[in-house]
A and B are shown apart, each in its own frame.
Chain A
Amino acid sequence: MAFVRVARDGVPVTQAKDVALDASLGKRFTLKTDVVVVGSGAAGAMVAYEMAKAGRDVLVLESGRYYPSSAFTEHLGDTMTKIYQDQVGQVNTTADIIFVQGACVGGSTVIGACVMEEPGDDVLDGWAAKYGLDNLSAEKFRPYLDTVADQLQIHINEAHEINACAHKVIQGCEKMQFSWKPAQRNVKQCALTGHCLAGCPSDRKMSSLVTHLPWAAAHGARIFSDTEVVKVRTRNGRASGVEARVTDPDSGAHVADMQVDADLVVLAAGAIHSPLIMQRSEIADRSGQLGRNLSIQPFTQVMGKFKEPLYGFRGALVGVQVDEFTRTDGYTIFSGLAEPESLMAQGDMKAGKAHIDFMKDYKYYAGVNAFSTDLGRGYVQWDGDAYTGGKTIHWNPNREEFENMKASAALAARIFFSGGAEKVFMPTFQSLEVDSVFSLDEKLAQVDYGIKGMYTFRSNSFSPHGTCRMGADSYDSVVAPNGEVHGTAGLFVADASLIPEPMSAPPQWTVQALAKYVSDQINAKASSYFIG
């Protein structure tokens, strides 16, 4: 086998400007490949690497731009406008929940907070039993999780990676006798800049941008950015490639139409976009579950103000997690205070002198993200023509989910008060700050469910999953246990869409292990999928 050399820096990516300058391609062109991978994030990058390593000709198509780490500026506001999906504007239909997602080569792994957590053996065994997914039992799936841990340098935070903000959470937990633990992160020699959300300019975050994508390219994979897959093409019920359009990321100008002829199509565009691509393609869906069962792991940002300056934005962004209620109630709380721009996601910022005071107190704040599990009742839908229609994300809390969000935020507030906070800002659209733990319940009672829980808690989602759930029963699931879509040969899904039911752990680790598992399933039966 020839020696494989990984580029020292960057990823070889064909961008819209390259396509525009290549006269041989023109406005319409066709590429041929063994495997076309749609999306270059956690799942797509893993599949590209595994398939290219196995000797397959691999083409990766990413709708976002290529933004190399050498260009990162550590300005969150600027980064949001360049590589966040819809400029941080991907929202539900009532526009009160933001779905934060990376839109760039490397996907959300580039802008994530590096938090990694396993799903838990009981969760995996539950999936195996309930959905006929024997290969996902804890015993059989463990090697995949271990491989990902090795590749991404996942480790438990060490003492120097726990900053002042995290220490306030620890103090609060110790007083409340809540269980906490250092968070696990995929970082190598963290530089403690606190700029995870704007991308890591020194390549210490083990995102796909510096791991599986350059590794895949070293094995010969080709990567296109600015290329949005519109449809999966099928012939006689079998996937035969994709249709895509190349767009200039700055001007929005249409550059070219691309057709890809492939033996295999692997969707890895995430739990929002993979089902939308299938809906646009009118892929047969016997189960009626395509795009449904959307679980979002809603989280809110709660901030405590302390007497002494903390400079809680310095150091590793995420230090510790409170796991006391993860298994029992589905609440997980992570420490973290990001750039000043991130305070806009907190809730009311006041006005006039009160706003100035609120911002000037930044150095006194500690922050947490309070997660709760939901019931997986949401869905995504493509409306209209494949080229001109639009997506809608449907998720609003029912009363149970609303109460979960409230309880999770209340726990975060109690932890801060126990840690010595003199004030806690609640994550609500109405102005709600609490001066004492004794008035917390009374204040929170002011947050009424109202109409569909709209404009109550200012919530976000970084972890949607479940929209193409995997299972043995084709009448109850979209994707078969080997990753292939029920009823459409040659079409695979490898991302968070597969997760069969709501989970409480941040899903990136699970997703990358699933992507490797699906790749192994394909490679194990390569002779039946590939010609030659």
Chain B
Amino acid sequence: MKNNNRAPLPGFLGGLEPLSRRGFLRTSVLAGAAFTTGCSSLFGRREAPETLEYHSLNDDEVEVITRLTEVMIPADRYGLPSSTDVVPTIKNVDAMAQRMPPQTRELLGLGIWVFNNRPMVSFKFSRFTRLPDDKALAYVDAMQEGSFFERGLMTTLKALVALNYWRDERTWPGLEYHGPVTELWGVRRLGNAPLPRA
């Protein structure tokens, strides 16, 4: 059945689209998410750091995005500002999520959940957040080389994390990128163009 009121997804969330187009998957995954959330509370899931400071991402989402950020951008190991302790990557993602339309935000949550819980035999059906560093990185690489749905989802989550790290100007010196220059160079503002001659 056609969904007439579905809001378009932001470009960087493109990989979530297949989820929105599969009602059965959507329903089962949401039900699964609710079940998992309940179970994790029962079993004393580890609280994400600074949980209360996030306005849109829930604890589980913070945990997944934090882990993905650690795995994808191990910046401090390579002389760059830490992607978790210096640059507020996860808070930037949270701020972006806060501005999303409700349906887009719901799909983001679904995508994060699927990414974390997608069963893979080669990873012994473990959640992404419970994988050790080498396995977690291998999982990300495997998703990127997967089916069109998997690579779409992986590209989306990578873009979300990377955009919200590299947009911070403290990361730019490491790239030898100059950043804003107009003021630095003393470039004069020209103002409005004069009226064309008749």
- A residues engaging B (CB < 8 A)? 4, 6-11, 69-70, 73-78, 81, 86-91, 93-96, 98, 150-151, 153, 188-189, 191, 193, 195, 201-204, 206, 210-211, 214-215, 218, 309, 311, 313-314, 339-341, 343-345, 347-353, 355-356, 359-360, 362-363, 383-384, 388-393, 429-431, 450-451, 454-456, 458, 460
| Residues of chain B having any CB pair with chain A under 8 Å | 2, 4-17, 71-75, 78, 80, 96, 99, 104, 137, 140-141, 144-145, 148-149, 151-152, 155, 158-159, 162-163, 166-167, 169, 171-172, 174-182, 185, 187-196
Pairs of residues from A and B, 8 with the lowest C-beta to C-beta distance, nearest first:
A89-B10, A77-B167, A98-B11, A74-B180, A95-B17, A383-B4, A95-B14, A214-B192
In whole angstroms, how far apart are the Cα atoms of A429 and B159 in the complex? 11
Residue ID in chain A nearest B164 by CB atoms: A77
Q: Is the CB of B169 within 8 A of A95?
A: no
The answer for the CA separation of A114 and B171 in the assembled complex, in Å, is: 28
Known: A90-B11, A344-B12, A454-B148. A313 touches B188 (CB 8 A): no
Contact B187 A193 (CB under 8 A): yes
Most B-side CB within 10 Å, residue of A87, A90, A356, A451: A356
Contacts of A70 in B (CB 8 A): 189
CB of B4 within 8 A of CB of A78, answer: no
Chain B residue with Cβ nearest A201: B182
Q: Complex formed: what's the CA distance from A458 to B144 in Å? A: 14
Q: Indicate if the CB atoms of A95 and B167 lie closer than 8 Å.
A: no
Contact status A352-B189, CB under 8 Å: no
B187 cross-chain contacts in A, Cβ below 8 A: 191, 193, 201-202
Contact of B192 among A7, A74, A360 (CB under 8 A): A7
Complex partner residue of A311 from B15, B149, B176, B194, CB under 8 angstroms: B176
A224 CB, min distance to chain B CBs, angstroms: 19
A89 to B10, CA, bound (A): 3
Shortest distance in angstroms between B127's beta carbon and chain A's nearest beta carbon?
17
Residues of A within 8 Å of B99, CB to CB, are 81, 87
Taking CB atoms, residues of chain B closer than 8 Å to A11 are: 192
With A8-B191, A69-B189, A74-B181 known as contacts, the answer to whether A353 contacts B78 (CB < 8 A) is yes
Q: Smallest CB–CB gap between B14 and chain A, Å?
A: 4
Most chain B C-beta atoms within 10 Å of own C-beta, residue among A91, A343, A355: A355
A390 touches B8 (CB 8 A): yes
A89 touches B15 (CB 8 A): no
Q: A8-B192, A95-B8 are in contact. List 18 more A-B contacts (CB 8 A).
A: A74-B181, A86-B8, A89-B104, A90-B8, A191-B185, A202-B187, A202-B189, A202-B190, A210-B192, A215-B193, A344-B159, A351-B140, A352-B74, A355-B73, A363-B175, A392-B6, A430-B144, A430-B151
Determine the chain B residues whose CB is within 8 A of the CB of A359 once the complex forms.
166, 175
Instruction: Please determine whether B17 and A94 come into contact, CB atoms closer than 8 angstroms.
Output: yes
A99 to chain B: closest residue by CB: B11
Smallest CB gap from A430: residue in B? B151
How far apart sit A450 and B151, CA to CA, in the bound complex (Å)? 13
Per DSSP, are chain A's interface residues mostly helix, strand or loop, or mixed?
Answer: loop
B9 & A95 in contact (Cβ 8 Å cutoff): yes
Q: Are A341 and B180 neighbours in the complex by a CB distance under 8 Å?
A: no
In the assembled complex, the Cα of A73 lies from the Cα of B2 at a distance in Å of 42
A70 to B148, CA, bound (A): 43
Task: Give the chain A neighbours of B96 by CB distance below 8 A.
Answer: 81, 87
Given that A78-B167, A431-B145 are contacting pairs, would A201 and B162 also be in contact in the complex, using a CB cutoff of 8 Å? no
Contact across chains for B71 and A341 when beta carbons are under 8 A apart: no
Instruction: For the complex formed, measure the closest distance between the CB of A340 and the CB atoms of chain B, giving whole angstroms.
Output: 5
| A515 → B minimal CB distance (Å) | 15
User: Which residues of the other chain, B, contact A153 by a CB distance below 8 angstroms?
Assistant: 193
A8 CB contacts on chain B under 8 angstroms: 191-192
In the bound complex, residues from chain B placing their C-beta under 8 Å from that of A392 are: 6, 8
- Separation of A352 and B75 alpha carbons in the complex (Å): 9
Determine how close the nearest CB of chain B comes to the CB of A37; give it in whole angstroms. 19
Q: CA of A154 to CA of B148 in the docked complex: distance in angstroms?
A: 43
| Interchain residue pairs with CB less than 8 A apart (28) | A8-B191, A9-B192, A69-B189, A74-B180, A77-B167, A78-B167, A87-B99, A89-B13, A91-B8, A91-B11, A95-B16, A95-B17, A193-B181, A201-B189, A340-B172, A341-B166, A343-B162, A343-B166, A344-B159, A344-B163, A347-B155, A351-B144, A352-B140, A356-B74, A362-B177, A363-B175, A384-B4, A431-B144
Residues of B within 8 A of A204 (CB): 190
Contact assessment for B15 and A455 in the assembled complex, using a CB-CB cutoff below 8 Å: yes
Q: Kindly identify which residue among A314, A348, A383 contacts B5, using a CB–CB cutoff of 8 Å.
A: A383
Q: How far is the CA of A344 from the CA of B187 in the complex (A)?
A: 29
A392 to B180, CA, bound (A): 36
B194 surroundings in chain A (CB, below 8 A) = 6
Given contacts A351-B140, A356-B74, A431-B145, contact A193 B182 (CB under 8 A): yes
Give bound CA distance, A69 to B10, whole Å: 25
Q: Which residues from B are CB-within-8-Å of A348?
A: 144, 151, 155, 158
Which of A8, A10, A96, A206 has the most chain B CB atoms closer than 10 A to its own CB?
A96
User: How far apart are A53's CB and chain B's nearest CB, in angstroms?
Assistant: 9
Contacts of B8 in A (CB 8 A): 86, 89-91, 93, 95, 390-393
- B17, B141, B181, B195 — which one has the most chain A CB atoms within 10 A of its CB? B195
| Residues of the B chain whose Cβ atoms lie less than 8 Å from the Cβ of A339 | 177
What's the Cα separation between A153 and B193 when bound, in Å? Answer: 10
- A96 B14 Cβ-Cβ under 8 A: yes
Check A349/B13 contact, CB under 8 A, given A355-B72, A356-B73, A359-B175: no
Q: Would A191 and B167 be within 8 Å (CB), given that A95-B16, A218-B195, A388-B5 are in contact?
A: no
A residues less than 8 Å from B15 (CB atoms)? 95, 429, 455
Q: Please, how many angstroms separate the alpha-carbon atoms of A518 and B105 in the complex? A: 42
Please, how many angstroms separate the alpha-carbon atoms of A344 and B7 in the complex?
22
B191:A389 contact, CB within 8 angstroms: no
A333 to chain B, nearest CB (A): 22
Q: Find the B residue at minimum CB distance from A362.
A: B175
> Chain B residues with Cβ under 8 A from A429's Cβ?
15, 148, 151-152, 155
The reply to whether B5 and A351 contact each other, CB–CB distance below 8 Å, is no
B162/A344 in contact, CB under 8 A: yes
**Contact assessment for B189 and A91 in the assembled complex, using a CB-CB cutoff below 8 Å:** no
In the bound complex, CA of A345 to CA of B169 (Å): 19
Out of B5, B166, B174, which one reaches A390, CB within 8 Å?
Answer: B5
Contacts of A343 in B (CB 8 A): 162, 166
